[in-house]
Amino acid sequence: GIRLSRAGGGGVVLGHSLATRSVLAAMSGERWEALGFLRDALRYSADKGDLPMLSVAYAYGIQTLVLLDEHPAAARFAGYAASPLMTALSNLPAQEGPHLANAVAKAKEVIGQAAFDLAVAETAALDPGQPAIQSALGDLEALLAARSASRS
């Protein structure tokens, strides 16, 4: 489905597919691929203007980042997902709720409740339009930059 959508086929669920694939890649230990899929999910959802899709990308992003042991970034993504607009528009499948709750709990455990709450407050306060999207993409680009640095 991802290849077809990227080739010009119906992109109705591409953002969802990319976000889901980010979790699967993280589960398989494919760090760079997981971050790339997540970045592409955010970009596609934002470019399409599909805010419910974007809210799902943020939620899957929390899970992806926890699986990659990027707990501070996961806390920031929890804030993006917790903005009032994203919360109202969220259409994360019900069966994903426990996975999301477990990821949030793990991030809180690792970085501490106070640091988690601060990160969430900072990112949830951003305008859910371009400021939040650009911030989230910046978070991912910073993580992806580590790949370039490790190759040098």
Q: Give 9-68 pLDDT, tens digit per residue.
A: 566 788 889 999 999 999 999 999 999 999 999 999 999 899 999 999 999 999 999 999
pLDDT of residue 93: 86
pLDDT of residue 3: 63
* pLDDT(152) > 60: no
Q: Give 59-98 pLDDT, tens digit per residue.
A: 999 999 999 999 999 999 999 999 888 888 888 888 999 9
* pLDDT(143) > 70: yes
Q: Give the CA dihedral 125, 127, 128, 130, nearest 10 degrees.
A: -140
pLDDT of residue 122: 95
List all residues 6 or more positions away from 145 whose beta carbon is below 8 Å from its beta carbon: none
